Structure formats: C-alpha cells, structure tokens
Amino acid sequence: MQADELAFLEEMIESAELLDCTACGEDTLHVHEEVNSIAGGVTEVIMRCASCLSTRPHLLID
C-alpha cells in the first residue's frame, strides 16, 4: 500500500464517529465519505454507516 493511501485511510479512521443511523435505528460508527458543501463556517459532509453502508449528511460547525 502506498504512503498516501495509508494516510488517507488513517484520516478516514480518525474522522469516524458515532452518529444516529436512521436505517439501523441506533448510534453506529460512521466514516467520512465526502464533503458536500462549505458555507459560512458550516461544512456539510456525507457520512457512511459502517454497519449498513447507508449515507447521511452531517453538519460540522466551526
């Protein structure tokens, strides 16, 4: 595995967090999928449930 790939994976793991998943009906580990939008200090990211693989938006506020 290349160093940049490893760094990317480490970043993904670091950004994983427990969020409410509507599909699972409980708090599950979600990993950062992509940045959806950035506006006025609010970043909307797409988080993917590690259990059922469904995605949901999540707001990060600075």
Interface positions with Zn ion (CB under 5 A): 21, 23-24, 28, 49, 51-52
Tokens of 5: 């790939």
Q: Which is nearer to Zn ion, 31 or 43 (CB)?
A: 31
- 10 three-class SS: helix
Shortest spacing between CB 20 and Zn ion, in angstroms: 9
Q: Which is nearer to Zn ion, 10 or 20 (CB)?
A: 20
Sequence-separated (6 or more) residues with CB below 8 Å from residue 46: 32, 33, 34, 35, 36, 55, 56, 57, 58
Q: Which is nearer to Zn ion, 28 or 43 (CB)?
A: 28
